[in-house]
Amino acid sequence: MRPNKTKAALKDGQTVLGCFIRYPSASLVEVLTYQAWDFIVFDAEHGTIQPEDCENMVRAAELQGVTPIVRVTTNQAPVILRYMDSGAQGLHVPWVNSASEAEAVVQSVKYYPRGVRGLAGVRAADYALRGSFGDYVHFANQESLVVIHIETAEAVEQLPEIVKVDGLDVIFIGPTDLSHSYGVPGEPQHPTVQAAIDRIVEVVGKSGLALGIMVGNAQAAQQWRERGARYITIGFESVLMPAAKAYLEKARS
């Protein structure tokens, strides 16, 4: 396992920028890493990425020293185990609604003494061919990045207790799912949803954890930096489509 540059930057108070991709393509990851992303998130929740795909995508990210992170489908230890064993250096977990659920995430990511993750000679551990298991466990516990999503009204209510859970690194806002939870699906700008987001920003700002968000463009990224977000992501499509549209319009003019 390599040192986690993204986690180190966050600890140093820096802002990190990443890209979500949902397509199971190591080649696409490799191409993306030639830009100055801090991290790439492999979206297994809203994409078709399986553990084997993730393992190859992790290899591709490592070529240029970009931090490989995976978003799993659900907060279940066996699911988390398989994706983390691929060598991913961080984990996004959706729909975390309580401190006990946040604790379960940490327990699934970390080895003893903080967690209960199963230990084996997998790729994350260099196939047990370099160094001792003891050294690997210590290093993995230290370097793994834990990101949980706040996406429901219940989670917003429980957030003051959630942020107390030891081992969390980033609290990630999910505006679209929040809109659904508050009864205004597809309306993240609704005043009720915005009030909930304001509450998340306030609580996280006092916690010492990093605030995370997905944006649609560079202007939104700048706005969220001003609000205190330091873990900022954008979807691959949000980068690709404006560039493609601008090219076609210019080429045809």
Angle separating helix axes 153-162 and 191-207, nearest 10 degrees? 10
Q: Which two tokens stand for residue 31?
A: 């191409």
Buried b (16+ CB within 10 A) or exposed e, 105-138: bbbbbbbeeebebebeebebbeeeeeeeeeebbe
d(CA 4, CA 9): 9
The number of distinct structural domains making up the chain is: 1
Measured distance CA(26)–CA(134) in Å, rounded: 31
Please tell me the distance from the alpha carbon of residue 68 to that of residue 62, in angstroms, as a whole number.
Answer: 7
Annotated catalytic residue, options 46, 92, 149, 180: 46
80-120: pLDDT as tens digits: 999 999 999 999 999 999 999 999 999 999 999 999 999 99
Supply the range of the domain harboring residue 210.
5-252
Task: Dump pLDDT digits (tens) for 13-47.
Answer: 999 999 999 999 999 999 999 999 999 999 999 99
What's the Rg (C-alpha) of the chain?
Answer: 18
Here the CATH number for the domain that contains residue 188 is 3.20.20.60
Give the angle 208-211-214 at the CA atoms, nearest 5°: 170
Strand partners, 213: 232
179-231 tens-digit pLDDT: 999 999 999 999 999 999 999 999 999 999 999 999 999 999 999 999 999 99
C-alpha–C-alpha distance, residues 223 and 215, integer Å:
10
Size of the chain, expressed as the number of residues it contains: 253
Is 46 annotated as catalytic? yes
